[in-house]
Structure 1
């Protein structure tokens, strides 16, 4: 009898252990893994907006990412932060990528997330600048090594001029409006929101020459070289979150403008000036490579970079994460 009670006690204890084990297993299954940390350096400009949307609308969190956005005045400075090891991913337009590639810096482009024509040249009418041809002999400020610098080259080429026909003055983007208003330069080649700040600083004295069909750039996600292979799921989640942000922007245009105005600290009317020139879209296409090659030739020909062979730009593009999300969006030739 006593032996029977012992057996029942053992069976009861065993059953209890099984119940506890099942409960713990169920709890572990229901408890989500901790979010993956990720530091992204972004331009505090129009090109950084899709990332700000993803943050503020909770799309990073929904993908299990704990993202830290570090803000920089330009994409070039954001890329510099990545190259210093202060971020794993950066948002940047194509021109800084060209100069980094020519310098042999390690990086990989994992996606373009927007095309943009938001670059402009703003000039002082009281310096006799009514047409682009009037730039000859003038002092033109720009942020060297950025898309605005290349855009200046495009404008001058359209007029049969070269950079030798003007005095190119290096001016950091946040200081351009003040430099133009004070007359230290006659014109500024820049991008939003600094182009708008320049126009507002001059008021009726401003003459603005937008990019129009002359120049269309790309906003890209650039990562440390092994990012997509060392953290493939994080790379995929990042693109998913950004894809959600882009779709949200398309379907919530008024809210997206208001969010942009708040994050950049500008009136919505100012944002509206260049809003339509930002075209968010996840892709990696051959036009991007062609533009990189054209800008590299410009940098070498003008002595802005040491004379060298063109970098193998397709080798700097890592489409692995985007192929998993939107394989039809990858049309670059010669990528791994």
Structure 2
């Protein structure tokens, strides 16, 4: 064989090998995506709230793609609306409050939490002093207007629970929807509500800019444990039981990405958070956002596991907030599973 031909064939083989080395990971990722099925739509109840920060990080840092998933985040103004979208079939999975898995079981709709990313509510209730100048205790909120993200959402449940905990009728206040920071600030400024029950950064902004005075705070592990008598589970990824059964590979991939994000979050510096988030999330007030993040950081789960005591703590709180639940029976074992998280923890050594 002529020497020139030998050189051309050798170069061709080397080029092919090089191309294989470059494109093999990309092809493998595409192959995994094809094997896992179609695009997944993930409903998020208030994407800008820190409650869902691990989900946003998993998307922004490419952890979903690394697991071969094509995930589309769909933002909703409140948890109740994201839940409705799941029931309507317009989203596949929801990042929302674990409590929905309990409440919907009582309605005959089986939901299952597959990974927990919040181990405290990250919610606070504050009063507007100029609207309640004589305020002494939570009992003074009876008959008053309280801003919440939406009826049926976790902020609404939290406000109801606070009243019930004081021996008041949980329906003894008027709950006003305040889905966005803009709506909440406008309502506080205009004196349309007496109190606000929400999560950060909305509460932090209301404290700084509208003089909100926090009177019940569940934004730290210690405070949450003292309030609820144990671990109060909060944000999680949940899906309908048929989805979990029919698409276990996609569920595992989702959980892998979330556990990866939670691990990343444990050691991330403020500069890392700023770099990872879209600029729009920090444009309003970066120092305020980072200060609020620092306060609630410990409430994010380090590994995605549902703690042993958490489901019962959640049920106890819900029964107080919604007395009609007391006469019903809930199978808590059907509302969550740690199986996918255990596999993800092995993969990421957490």
Q: TM-score range by the shorter chain?
A: 0.7 to 0.9
2:9 corresponds to which residue? none
2:12 corresponds to which residue? none
73-82 vs 85-94, which moves further: 73-82
Deviation sequence 1:30-77 (CA, Å, 0-9, x none): 542152432211121212211111111111111111111111123332
Are the equivalent residues in 1 in contact too, given 2:93–2:239 (CA < 8 A)? yes
In 2, distance between residues paired with 1:296 and 1:126? 31
194-203 vs 37-46, which moves further: 194-203
In 1, distance between residues paired with 2:334 and 2:32? 34
Higher strand share: 1
Paired residue secondary structure (2:90): coil
Are the equivalent residues in 2 in contact too, given 1:147–1:217 (CA < 8 A)? no
Change (3 A) 1:218 1:274: same
Aligned residue among 95, 98, 108 for 1:94: 98
Residues 179-328 of structure 1: matches in 2 within 5 Å? Answer: 179-203=187-211, 206-209=212-215, 210-211=217-218, 212-213=223-224, 214-215=227-228, 216-258=232-274, 259-260=276-277, 262=279, 264-265=281-282, 266-275=284-293, 276-278=295-297, 279-281=299-301, 282-301=304-323, 303=324, 308-326=327-345
In 1, distance between residues paired with 2:134 and 2:98? 29
Residues 101-140 of structure 1: matches in 2 within 5 Å? Answer: 101-127=105-131, 128=133, 130-133=135-138, 134-140=140-146
Change (3 A) 1:77 1:270: farther
Structure 1 residues without counterparts, runs of 5 or longer = 1-22, 328-336
In 2, distance between residues paired with 1:238 and 1:115? 19
Are the equivalent residues in 1 in contact too, given 2:147–2:196 (CA < 8 A)? yes
Are the equivalent residues in 2 in contact too, given 1:148–1:189 (CA < 8 A)? yes
Change (3 A) 1:191 1:261: farther
Are the equivalent residues in 2 in contact too, given 1:112–1:218 (CA < 8 A)? yes
Change (3 A) 1:243 1:319: closer
Change (3 A) 1:155 1:297: closer
2:153 corresponds to which residue? 146
Give the TM-score, by structure 2 length: 0.74
Please report how far the alpha carbon of residue 288 of structure 1 lies from its aligned counterpart in structure 2 after TM superposition. Answer: 2.5
Are the equivalent residues in 1 in contact too, given 2:69–2:250 (CA < 8 A)? yes
Instruction: Tell me how many residue pairs correspond in the alignment.
Output: 299
Point out the structure with max Rg over C-alpha.
Answer: 1
Structure 2 residues without counterparts, runs of 5 or longer = 1-15
In 2, distance between residues paired with 1:117 and 1:300? 17
Are the equivalent residues in 2 in contact too, given 1:122–1:189 (CA < 8 A)? yes
In 2, distance between residues paired with 1:261 and 1:131? 41
Paired residue secondary structure (1:277): helix
Are the equivalent residues in 1 in contact too, given 2:124–2:203 (CA < 8 A)? yes
